[in-house]
Each structure stands twice: as structure tokens, then as C-alpha cells.
């Protein structure tokens, strides 16, 4: 998603009083184990969604048609 589209989606979510609780993507040609990039992204999402107590669950899911 390009930055302008991402900003538009964030604005729409906020206008509707909703919140993002996670993210997902696929690994269609290899196992659903998280890559280093996946781990960095998840960590960034966790930091961006912290509440006043310093913790907010943020779900990350990877789907794959291949077994582990």
C-alpha cells in the first residue's frame, strides 16, 4: 500500500471510531514461520499501538498452504 492510500485508510478508520488490532499476510511458497522482516514489523506495530499502560495486544498472522 502506498503512503497516501495508507493515510486515507487510517483517516477512515479513525473517523469511524474503529481501531486496528492486527495484521496478516501470506507466505504462499514457504512455511508460515515469521521472517526477520515480519518480526521487525510486528515489533513496530506493538510499539505504535501501546496504550497508557505500555501494553496493547496486536495480532500478527501469517497464512500458508504449506505445512510447517
Q: Where are the domains of the chain?
A: 19-68
* Confidence at residue 68, expressed as pLDDT on a 0 to 100 scale: 58
pLDDT band, residue 65 (cuts 50/70/90): confident
For residue range 15-49, what is the model confidence (pLDDT) as tens digits? 999 888 899 999 998 889 999 999 999 998 888 88
> What's the pLDDT at 47?
85
> With b meaning 16 or more CB within 10 Å and e meaning fewer, what string describes 18-34?
eeeeeeeeebeeeebee
Q: Tell if the pTM clears 0.85, that is, is over it.
A: no
Phi, psi of 14 (to 5 degrees): -65, -45
Amino acid at each position: 500500500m502506498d503512503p497516501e492510500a495508507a493515510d486515507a485508510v487510517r483517516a477512515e478508520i479513525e473517523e469511524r471510531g474503529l481501531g486496528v488490532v492486527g495484521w496478516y499476510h501470506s507466505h504462499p511458497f514457504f512455511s508460515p514461520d515469521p521472517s526477520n522482516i515480519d518480526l521487525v514489523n510486528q515489533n513496530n506495530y506493538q510499539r505504535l499501538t501501546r496504550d497508557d499502560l505500555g501494553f496493547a495486544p496486536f495480532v500478527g498472522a501469517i497464512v500458508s498452504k504449506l505445512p510447517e
